Amino acid sequence: MSLIQHLINGQLVNDTGRTADVYNPSTGQVIHQVPLASRDTIQSAIDSAKAAFPAWRITPPAKRAQVMFRFKQLLEQNEARISQLISEEHGKTLEDAAGELKRGIENVEYACSAPEILKGEYSRNVGPNIDAWSDFQPLGVVAGITPFNFPAMVPLWMYPLAIVCGNCFILKPSERDPSSTLLIAQLLQEAGLPKGVLSVVHGDKGAVDALIEAPEVKALSFVGSTPIAEYIYSEATKRGKRVQALGGAKNHAVLMPDADLDNAVSALMGAAYGSCGERCMAISVAVCVGDQVADALIAKLVPQVKALKIGAGTSCGLDMGPLVTGQARDKVSGYIEDGVASGAELVVDGRGLSIAGHEDGFFLGGSLFDRVTPEMRIYKEEIFGPVLCVVRVNSLEAAMQLINDHEYGNGTCIFTRDGEAARLFCDEIEVGMVGVNVPLPVPVAYHSFGGWKRSLFGDLHAYGPDGVRFYTRRKAITQRWPQRASHEASQFAFPSL
């Protein structure tokens, strides 16, 4: 059994303390161990980043971008290898893993535009012989804490942009599936990134707390559950750090009576059950406007949910693999039991699934609930599994009120042919990312990703233009060169034109 290592100052290093097991979810077997970083290990990563920062911050943005161009090429060349690692440790299908990587590469492409996105603003003659301009300057040492469900994509949301902005980055990936994350970081070093600019340290809460408490770390990015997001935001901001902490979600899809139901069903199947529902943008609630829409939706969903192709993620042609751990599978099963006890109608039960040859894997079939109501736990909480809940309402206004009343506001969508309804929905819904006939409205890399309400703690969203703002500080400079022959009297009033 191999030990996955930290990457610090360009070197793979061990930690002699605690370790955690890394499983293959398809077999249920431990395949690796990962060290859980001590505070000394975290500090060594911080020290290497701090040492690398002075030279990196003055490296021209065009040279930083050249590293990212080479990095992009290496990622594309190693797509199959990276996807295999993701599937082996996370459980998602190879096709899903490849799709995740491609969306991550989009952010590397955006980072390649560093000379453009870091251009300041210049104004000549704002006053007599006075020029003014603004400059985007890096923060210094920054850190990211990323989740298990996207071990390639979410880290690529963070450090490519942070690094081209001139910062040095410490990444603490999920200890559940760290191999692909580590390989990708090594590829960035192969692309020519100087030692110390990026470090990868594995760990649990102890590592997170060490990053929060370290005065050298100026900013923290996080993606994960809302309780942890709130904890990181609270603890880090009171220490004066800049924080963007993306939390949980309960994403609703509204189906109007005029919706193209066949296309909506196809979209819902992928959005609800893709990656076993282990996505912060997964659709977990279908809000049907009218019983006729709900009855028709259920009739079309049931056979497709029952026909989901499920197996080992590294096999081809599957719809779903296993959940990431046995605990995750059992937690989702507990939600299904709770839904039944609360009076929801379990139309399709995915529990008890056994895959031939993989009987010890962490498998769960797709589940479908009808007649779910807002007071039920399966409606209120993020299940993070292959469970879709159908809620029935009488109007678009009632559907929107349902969504706006929920504590989360990450993503939502509406299926309709009515432009007026779509416009009203987009204008009035209190959610950060909205789709019209698009079930997973994840913004492209040159926009920014983030929810509202308790789905985001902090003022700036992830990647895109907000990412540039998050990883830089704006400095405004006003400059004057008075004429040598002139002599001016002192001014005691506040200066103005």
Burial 113-142 (b: 16+ CB within 10 A, else e): bbeebbeeeeeeeeeeebebeeebbbbbbb
For residue 408, which of 278, 229, 251 has the smallest C-alpha distance? 251
Burial 468-496 (b: 16+ CB within 10 A, else e): bbbbbeeeeeeeeeeeeeeeeeeeeeeee
The SS3 assignment for 463 reads: coil
Identify the DSSP state of 319: S
Q: How far apart are CA 143 and CA 245, in angstroms?
A: 12
Q: How far apart are CA 455 and CA 268, in angstroms?
A: 21
Q: Which of 112, 276, 280, 413 is catalytic?
A: 280
Please answer whether residues 233 and 243 qualify as being in contact, where contact means their C-beta atoms are separated by less than 8 angstroms: yes
Please answer whether residues 214 and 124 qualify as being in contact, where contact means their C-beta atoms are separated by less than 8 angstroms: no
Q: How far apart are CA 435 and CA 268, in angstroms?
A: 13
> Please, what's the largest Cα pairwise distance for the chain?
92
317: left (phi over 0), alpha (psi -120 to 50) or beta: left
Q: Can 288 be counted among the known catalytic residues?
A: no
Identify the DSSP state of 449: B
Cα atoms found within 13 Å of the Cα of residue 182, Cβ hemisphere only: 22
Residue carrying structure tokens 């006729």: 292
For residue 281, which of 450, 68, 440, 55 has the smallest C-alpha distance? 440
User: Which residue numbers are catalytic?
Assistant: 280
